[in-house]
Amino acid sequence: MLGDPALWLPIVFAGLMGLSILIYVVLDGYDLGVGMLFALAEADEKDRMVASIGPFWDANETWLVMAVGLLLVAFPMAHGIILSTLYVPVAIMLLGLILRGVSFEFRAKVPQERKAAWNLAFFTGSLMTALAQGYMLGRYVLGLETGLAVEAFSLLTALCVACGYGFIGATWLIHKCEGELQRKAVRWAKATLGFVALGFVLISLASPFTSPRIFDKWFSMPEFLLLAQLPIGSAVVFVVTWLALGRLPTKTDQFNWVPFLGGIALFGLAFSGLAYSFYPYVVPDQLTIYDAASAPESLLIILFGTLVVMPVIMAYTVFAYVIFRGKATELRYD
């Protein structure tokens, strides 16, 4: 039959949680990136940028709720350790998300002379959220340890993740916008792609040396030959994306989606490497998914609910992107 539920249910929930995190990073990553790029845009361009993410940004954050919810109900011990250790950056992230939500609505309703303040708040909330998530990634990669070196590394990954979001946000604008704003987005994407590469190198170098276990997983044979496909694939995607950016925008606006697809591929490859490195641990070298998992009976009940809720979220996400496909139009609130 299905075998021991205590063995396969934690794997299923780890996979569902990982999928939710990856979808969130891609989808909310680009709209956080658009928010941070507010700092480089002219006043009249900001409305078009908001119009490009307006139908999607709120739903994108649903995937973060899904991921954290799965962590809580499926791996409650890990939830307690991770969130208590990362309490400050989690609080900063939540404040940033709240500030983004409030400013997104208020900028459309205040008098014109106060709109700039709410545009600044939208940028600030986006930047706070991106930096907090990057900092948490750095701490997680280094095993949730503390110390000066850990803090320095985490701050550097915070910058790289923010630039990564800026990159995928710029590629989204390339796809959704036209004219001068599209040309600016191409320049922004080129400028941030180098920081994305730096983030890849930093995390790729740091992960194996944080733990002898991870080092052995990466550099044992024949695993090393198989896993070499990840950095090779990433290098290929970087080159293809850079070449595509060099050819954009075109007169017919063909292939404007290629850089965004490249961003998705890069995030997916990075996530695959991290997932392989840390499996089966949900708290690095402290707690495995089997030790942290709820009782199999509870997980089985939760699984039925998850298999109903997740497809519904996926369906309305796809529906929104299909309905609002094409170029962003003029931002109107009447």
pLDDT digits (tens, 9 = 90+) for 31-68: 999 999 998 888 888 989 998 998 888 888 899 999 99
Dist. CA 261–CA 131, nearest whole Å:
23
Inform me whether the pLDDT recorded for 204 exceeds 80: no
CB 60 within 8 A of CB 21: no
Closest listed residue to residue 45, CA positions, set 176, 165, 191: 176
Domain 5-323 has CATH 3.20.20: no
Inform me whether the pLDDT recorded for 208 exceeds 80: no
SS3 label, residue 177? coil
SS3 label, residue 331? coil
Q: Across the chain, what does the average pLDDT equal?
A: 88
Q: How many residues in the chain? A: 334
DSSP state at residue 200:
H
DSSP state at residue 224:
H
CB 106 within 8 A of CB 133: no
Strand partners, 288: 281
Q: How confident is the model at residue 333, as a pLDDT? A: 55
Dist. CA 161–CA 134, nearest whole Å:
5
Inform me whether the pLDDT recorded for 169 exceeds 50: yes
Q: Backbone dihedral region of 110: left (phi > 0), alpha (psi from -120 to 50 degrees) or beta?
A: beta
Q: How confident is the model at residue 332, as a pLDDT? A: 61
Q: Which tens digits make up the pLDDT trace of 79-126?
A: 989 989 999 999 999 999 999 989 988 887 888 788 889 999 999 999
Inform me whether the pLDDT recorded for 334 exceeds 60: no
Region 15-20 average pLDDT: 94
Ranges of H-type helices in 177-295: 179-209, 212-219, 223-227, 229-246, 258-278, 289-292
Q: Which tens digits make up the pLDDT trace of 266-284?
A: 999 989 988 888 889 999 8
Q: Which tens digits make up the pLDDT trace of 227-253?
A: 888 889 989 999 999 999 988 888 888
Q: Which residues contact 155 (CB under 8 A, 6 or more apart)?
A: 135, 138
Of all residues in the chain, what percent carry a pLDDT higher than 70? 98
From residue 213, how far is each of 85, 140, 198, 207, 219 by CA, in Å? 22, 16, 24, 10, 10
Q: How confident is the model at residue 120, as a pLDDT? A: 92
Q: How confident is the model at residue 314, as a pLDDT? A: 92
Domain positions in the chain are 5-323
Dist. CA 291–CA 282, nearest whole Å:
9
Dist. CA 70–CA 136, nearest whole Å:
18
